[in-house]
């Protein structure tokens, strides 16, 4: 007994109406990632960098509030490729992460902490 060959070209393809929205949301989430890095200076001194914040924010006010809350010094560096980067004296990655999430500037899953 032989069966006729199946022609799958006539079957409707599966359609997921939310697939495009999920891909667009993933792309937007990957684009809006805030990177927190620590750079070792000399001895026990460290430098925390905050990169990837949206250009729509007022970096001067963010820096002022971070400096007050963390009791440290800091500057804003304007890089032509990476945009504006906030540099703080000391290792403040976890504190800056909670500050950004609490302030609504970044979601917790969009903050990437690099370093040891």
At residue 18, does pLDDT exceed 80? no
Quote the pTM value: 0.71
pLDDT band, very low/low/confident/very high, at 115 (cuts 50, 70, 90): confident
Q: Are 48 and 90 in contact (CB under 8 A)?
A: yes
- Domains of the chain from N-terminus onward: 18-113 (3.30.780.10)
At residue 27, does pLDDT exceed 50? no
Percentage of residues of the chain with pLDDT beyond 70: 73
- Burial classification of residue 89, based on how many CB atoms lie within 10 Å of its CB (0-12 exposed, 13-18 middle, 19 or more buried): middle
pLDDT band, very low/low/confident/very high, at 28 (cuts 50, 70, 90): very low
């Amino acid at each position: 007994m032989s069966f006729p060959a199946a022609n799958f070209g006539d079957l409707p393809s599966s359609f997921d109406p939310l697939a495009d929205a999920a891909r667009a949301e993933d792309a937007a989430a990957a684009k809006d990632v805030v990177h927190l890095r620590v750079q070792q200076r000399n001895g026990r001194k460290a430098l925390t960098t905050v990169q990837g914040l949206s250009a729509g924010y007022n970096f001067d006010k963010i820096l002022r509030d971070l400096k007050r809350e963390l009791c440290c010094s800091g500057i804003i560096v304007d890089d032509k490729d990476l945009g504006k980067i906030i540099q703080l004296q000391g290792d403040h990655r976890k504190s800056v992460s909670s500050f950004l999430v609490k302030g609504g500037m970044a979601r917790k899953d969009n903050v990437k902490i690099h370093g040891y």
